[in-house]
Amino acid sequence: MAKVTSDYWDKKYEIEDFLYTKVENRFVVEYCSPLKPGRAIDLAGGEGRNSVWLAKQGWTVENIDFSPVALRKYSDYASEVGVASKCLATVADATSFVPQQDQVELGLIGYLQTPGSELKKAIRRLGKHVVAGGHLFGVWHARANLAGGFGGPRDPRVLPTVGFLKRALWGQGFDVVVCTLRDGQIQTKEGLKPSITVVLLARKRG
Ligand SMILES: C[S@@+](CC[C@H](N)C(=O)[O-])C[C@H]1O[C@@H](n2cnc3c(N)ncnc32)[C@H](O)[C@@H]1O
């Protein structure tokens, strides 16, 4: 799976339902709940399930995604639940974005499934906008999921490892708080199946 285009994602999102549901990711809840709300960027935030959840917790969130269709659904959803004033949207590529909020207390990146060189650029660019003392949190289907796990893409090039994520942050002024594999389950047509996720929480030195 090479880098895909925004047209590819727009077509996937052109359905009435929410492709990734309106339910916030459980790892985002687990790792971001303890953080004091401030400004956040949700990079590749899609239809905004995590952005809206953060806004409900008091964060001012900028969802940056290259799919205008996803961001339209996100903005409508934010209005529907009364948090539109805390939800910004920016159409841009994850490797070259210029955010409306230059400095944020939280950089979130959830399931950006793009080849390693691109993912590293995106993580580093996001990291530059995190203030000293702020956090970067990421979650992905893990490469380890290919061996017996379910869900997510099957191309190893878009599935990060713990080592890759730690290396992506080297020299960027972050201390890694957590970078680990987490076991979970995913709903399939045949019932619940095991699935392996990789999570990264890092704090910017200051
Ligand atoms: C699997 S979805 C995850 C969406 C959201 N983070 C969530 O967890 O519901 C991946 C998202 O990445 C976005 N994306 C993929 N490549 C991108 C890129 N190069 N720049 C910006 N967004 C990108 C897609 O438009 C899509 O919304």
**Residue ranges per structural domain of the chain:** 6-14+25-204
pLDDT of 71 reads: 98
CA of 7 to the centre of ligand 1 (A): 12
Q: Point out the ligand 1 atom lying closest to the alpha carbon of residue 92.
A: 21
**pLDDT at 189 (0 to 100):** 86
Cα 94 to ligand 1 centroid, rounded to whole Å: 9
Q: Which fold has domain 6-14+25-204?
A: Rossmann fold (3.40.50)
CA of 111 to the centre of ligand 1 (A): 7
Distance CA(165)–CA(10), nearest Å, equals 27
Per-residue pLDDT, 123: 98
**Test site for ligand 1: of 6, 24, 75, 186, most ligand atoms within 8 A of the Cβ:** 6
* Å from CA of 80 to ligand 1 middle: 22
User: What is the model's pLDDT at position 1?
Assistant: 61
CB atoms within 10 A of CB 8: 11
180 neighbors 198 (Cβ within 8 angstroms): yes
Q: Given the CA of residue 25, which atom of ligand 1 is nearest to it?
A: 8
SS3 135: strand
User: What is the CB < 6 Å shell around ligand 1?
Assistant: 9, 20, 25, 44-46, 49-50, 65-67, 70, 93-94, 110-114
For ligand 1, atom 8, name the residue with the nearest CA: 110
pLDDT, tens only, 105-153: 999 999 999 999 999 999 999 999 999 999 999 999 999 999 989 999 9
pLDDT at 3: 77
Identify the pLDDT of residue 187.
84
Q: How far apart are CA 95 and CA 121, in angstroms?
A: 6
- Please report, for residues 10, 25, 48, 176, the alpha-carbon distance to residue 91 in angstroms, rounded to integers and kept in the order given: 12, 22, 13, 29
Give the residues of the chain that fall short of pLDDT 50: none
Q: Which numbered atom of ligand 1 lies nearest the CA of 20?
A: 9
